[in-house]
Amino acid sequence: MSFLTAEPVRLLLALVCIMAFVGLNAAYLVLAERKGAGRFQRRPGPNEAGYGGWLQPVADVAKLLSKQLIVPPGTDTILFRLAPLMVISPAMMCLAVIPFSQTLVARNINVGLLMVFSFGSINVMAIMLSGWASRNKYAIISAARVVSQNVAYEIPMLLVVITLLMVTGTMNLSEIVRQQAGWFWHWNLFKVWVNPLMPVTFVIFFICMLAETNRAPFDMAEAESELVAGAFTEYAGMGFGVFFMAEYANIVLGCSLGTVLFLGGWQSPFGLWSGVVWFLLKLYALIFTVIWVRWTFPRTQFYNLLNLSWKILIPISLFTLLLSSAMIKLF
Amino acid sequence: MKASILDVPRGFWSLLVGMRITLTQFFKPVITVPYPHKTLPIPARYRGPIELTTDPATGKALCIACKLCERACPSDCILVDGVKLEGEKKKSVTEFKFDFTKCSLCGACVEVCPCDAIRFSKNYNLASTSREDYLFDLVARLPAEKKQP
């Protein structure tokens, strides 16, 4: 079994595991989303396929796979085919640096956080390309919206992360989690003695994460009721399916990042029995919150969305940045 | 300035209130009925297409073919015929044609019937691709007569 520990083999295994994790999560988070939507609206959700509807993802995938891949005339064929790949691969790549537990991390690199954000911003470009390549007015409107939305929300997101980086002093995600060992008040979320506005930074991070993943109430990219399906209008079959998978992969990624940065990653809340279970618990609690938010709030108007970012989130995150640098300098 | 700054925490609080409301709904029981598997009881005054009532003792239709319903119907969708059988005081119905495509479920026939021989059915599962399926022969739909003791 010694070949299993060789670095290339280990990396390949990790890659397969990540792809399986993303695929499984995408399939079953769609079900969780629909079930959750049902519960929030006091109805059972999908319950016909299999016991309680748990075979629904299988049926969905079978349906999507059996459909014809249509490339509409007049589209930029190469970009049109490339966009789904470009939207899913960064999300999968970023998961490679997420530490699921002390040992369970595909690639523990020193600039993990930087890598997540640099690859994360490819997502915007991929959606923009898909909108552009579709040669469809709805898709182009959606692409334009995505760009302005993501540019607006990338700024407070990065400001908040810089605030956190000044506290942690490292970009290594495993190291960031290791610093949060102990009871739950050692988590970055509750480190109010370092920066009294730490919970606020988490809220800003969460809001920006919702906006970056184009989730309701910031789902300007899809906006079913206004733009048909936004940038994904012209995609059929698995092309559309991959965009759907990417959305959920990005949610998983964003929530894992939130867990690692603010909620102590694999650390248990009372200093004992730390492990991957705690990571998954926190991850799925955050994902539940994402679903909960989606089925609570209606979609924002576009100018309100930009107002929220430029007039509220950016000033507050700048203030937290200044405050924490002052606190670090003084104490 | 002060008002717009105060708007931020107030707005955030209102978001939390909204989230609390949806979460309480999340844990309440489901209120929808999975239709083909379960059905709700049909209300007593539900108006389905009319049907003939029978005498519970003999199983015969109560209709005396007086044709009052035929005359009362505003859309002319009822056609009744009957014969006088030997040994019986009143006529018995032999034909009761009912065109549901024209019926507006106004209930004039049910109201006018002197012997309560017509009532609204509780049948709500009506679907067909042909018009002829809604030309009901209500006599043919009657349950088989009970054997006289």
pTM over 0.90: no
Amino acid A289: pLDDT: 92
In a domain, B77, yes or no: yes
In a domain, B15, yes or no: no
CB of A293 closer than 8 Å to CB of A208 = no
- Residue A319 neighbours by CB under 8 Å, 6+ apart: A197
Q: Say how far apart CA A113 and CA A43 lie, in whole Å.
A: 40
Contacts of A295 in chain B (CB under 8 A): 22
Distances (CA, A) of B73 to A211, A331, B62, B110, B140: 63, 93, 19, 10, 21
Contacts of B29 in chain A (CB under 8 A): 42
A44 and B CB contact within 8 Å: yes
Query: Which of B8, B15, B22 has its CB closest to that of A40?
Result: B22
In a domain, B93, yes or no: yes
B1 and A CB contact within 8 Å: no
Residues pairing with B82 in the sheet: B93
Contacts of A293 in chain B (CB under 8 A): 19
Amino acid B76: pLDDT: 87
pLDDT in tens, A183-208: 777 787 777 777 788 888 889 999 98
A285 and B CB contact within 8 Å: no
Buried b or exposed e, range A26-42, using 16+ CB within 10 angstroms? bbebbbbbbbbebbbee
Contact A43 B30 (CB under 8 A): yes
| Distance from the first to the final alpha carbon of chain B | 95
- Amino acid identity of residue A165, one-letter, is L
Q: State the average pLDDT over residues B13-20.
A: 90
- The tally of domains found in chain B comes to 1
Contact A296 B22 (CB under 8 A): yes
Query: Which of B12, B23, B28 has its CB closest to that of A42?
Result: B28
Q: Say how far apart CA A273 and CA A215 lie, in whole Å.
A: 34
> B145 falls in which pLDDT band (50, 70, 90)?
low
Contacts of B22 in chain A (CB under 8 A): 40, 292, 295-296
Amino acid B144: pLDDT: 64
pLDDT in tens, B77-112: 888 888 887 777 788 888 888 888 888 889 888 889
Using the predicted structure, report yes or no on whether residue B149 has a pLDDT greater than 70.
no
A193 and B CB contact within 8 Å: no
Angle between helices A137-168 and A112-120 (to 10 degrees): 170
Burial class for A109, CB neighbours closer than 10 Å (0-12, 13-18, 19+): middle
Question: So what's the ipTM on this one?
Answer: 0.74
pLDDT in tens, A10-62: 788 888 888 888 888 888 888 888 888 888 888 888 888 878 788 888 888 88
Query: Which of B12, B18, B34 has its CB closest to that of A296?
Result: B18
- Chain A: nearest CA to B20, how far in angstroms? 9
pLDDT in tens, B122-135: 888 888 898 888 88
Nearest CA in chain A to B37: A48
Amino acid B17: pLDDT: 92
Q: Say how far apart CA A129 and CA A122 lie, in whole Å.
A: 10
Using the predicted structure, report yes or no on whether residue A84 has a pLDDT greater than 70.
yes
Amino acid A263: pLDDT: 85
Residue B69 is part of which domain span?
Answer: 50-124+132-137
Q: State the average pLDDT over residues A234-261.
A: 86
Contact A40 B12 (CB under 8 A): no
Mutate to test the interface with B, among A33, A42, A201, A293 (most CBs of B within 10 A): A42
Contact A42 B8 (CB under 8 A): no
Nearest CA in chain A to B14: A297
pLDDT in tens, A203-226: 999 998 888 888 878 887 776 777
Instruction: Report chain A's mean pLDDT, rounded to a whole number.
Output: 84
Q: State the average pLDDT over residues A319-323.
A: 89
Nearest CA in chain A to B27: A39
In a domain, B35, yes or no: no
In a domain, B28, yes or no: no
Distances (CA, A) of B127 to A33, A48, B36, B101, B103: 34, 23, 15, 12, 15
Burial class for A136, CB neighbours closer than 10 Å (0-12, 13-18, 19+): buried
Q: Say how far apart CA B137 and CA B51 lie, in whole Å.
A: 10
CATH number assigned to the domain comprising residue B55: 3.30.70.3270
In a domain, B36, yes or no: no
Contact A292 B23 (CB under 8 A): yes
Nearest CA in chain B to A48: B34
Contact B31 A42 (CB under 8 A): yes
Q: Which of residues 10-69 of B touch A (CB under 8 A)?
A: 12, 15, 18-19, 21-23, 25-26, 28-32, 34
Using the predicted structure, report yes or no on whether residue A1 has a pLDDT greater than 70.
no
Q: State the average pLDDT over residues B65-72.
A: 87
Parse chain A into domains and list their residue ranges.
71-330
